[in-house]
Amino acid sequence: MTSSSDEENLITHLEALRNTLLHCVFALFIAAPIGFLSSNYFINALIRWSLPSGLSKLNFFSPMEVLVVQLKIGFVISFILVFPYIVREIWKFLMPALHQNERKFLKTVVFSSTFLFFFGVLFCIYFILPMILKFSMSFTTSSLQPMLGLSNFINLSGCLMLAFGLMFQFPLLILSLVHFGLVSVEFLEDKRPYIVVLILILAAILSPPDIVSQLLLGIPTYFLFELGLFVAKKQKQKISNFMLK
């Protein structure tokens, strides 16, 4: 009976996971036309904002390049639009297995996760992209002139926007691990050098293959890790003081 019950529970969880994934994919599908229709405006606005004064336009080198670029950036826009819904669906999937206080904490994490994702994307657009392009323009000489391609620029922008949105979840990851007792603050402090290496590896995976982009992603992520560790430590001290009373 126990084996049969465990098997039924596993099947139920797998079906719930499948439904959650289907809902997320369906949401992306619904948002795709909005993302594609707004992609041209977004690309032009991104180019005007990001390009330094010495570089006023980009180039495309194949007949279908612009369409492919619009599809790529349309997917990025769609994912950004439905990210709050995706997080909400994941929360709904996890909620039945949690206690009341854990549900309250996870609900706070869901709202904070959405805020940090959008903040990471905006941080990338407003600060990181112009900084990278300005840095690349510093190599210009009288015999070495830039001619940037649209596809390369959009690939760089899309990868970095998603990477910053995801890596800005790091404080919430630290808080969740400590809150649910999976790791301790002392363990994280002791393993800080290894976490730095992990952050650099993740930055290398998520960002384009150049050291500048990887460092620009890795350095803020490390500070976010320290922020999450600081908040987790304060939260732990608050709980300890409450229990002593």
CA dist 67 and 188 (Å) reads 46
Mean pLDDT of the chain: 82
- pLDDT tens for 53-79 read 767 678 888 888 888 889 988 988 898
Q: Is 144 left (phi over 0), alpha (psi -120 to 50) or beta?
A: beta
Under the banding of pLDDT at 50, 70 and 90, the label for residue 146 is confident
Cα(129)–Cα(55) distance, integer angstroms? 14
pLDDT of 97 reads 66
**With bands split at pLDDT 50, 70 and 90, how would you rate the model's confidence at 211?**
confident
| Burial class of 220 by CB neighbour count within 10 A (0 to 12, 13 to 18, 19+) | buried
Give the model's confidence band at 180: pLDDT under 50 very low, under 70 low, under 90 confident, else very high.
confident
pLDDT in tens, 78-96: 988 898 888 888 877 777 7
Structure confidence at residue 7 (pLDDT)? 62
**Residue 19 pLDDT class (50, 70, 90 cuts):** confident
What percent of the chain clears pLDDT 70, i.e. is strictly above it? 89
Segments making up each domain of the chain, as ranges: 1-146, 169-245
pLDDT over threshold 80, residue 178: yes
Read off the pLDDT of residues 96-109 as tens digits, 9 standing for 90 and up. 766 666 677 777 77
* H-assigned helices in the chain: 2-50, 65-94, 100-123, 129-137, 150-167, 170-179, 185-190, 192-206, 211-244
pLDDT value at 177 more than 70: yes
Q: Which of 167, 171, 149, 170 is CA-nearest to residue 213?
A: 167
Model confidence at 135: pLDDT above 50 = yes
Question: By C-alpha distance, which of 206, 172, 163 is closest to 91?
Answer: 172
- pLDDT surpasses 50 at 1: no
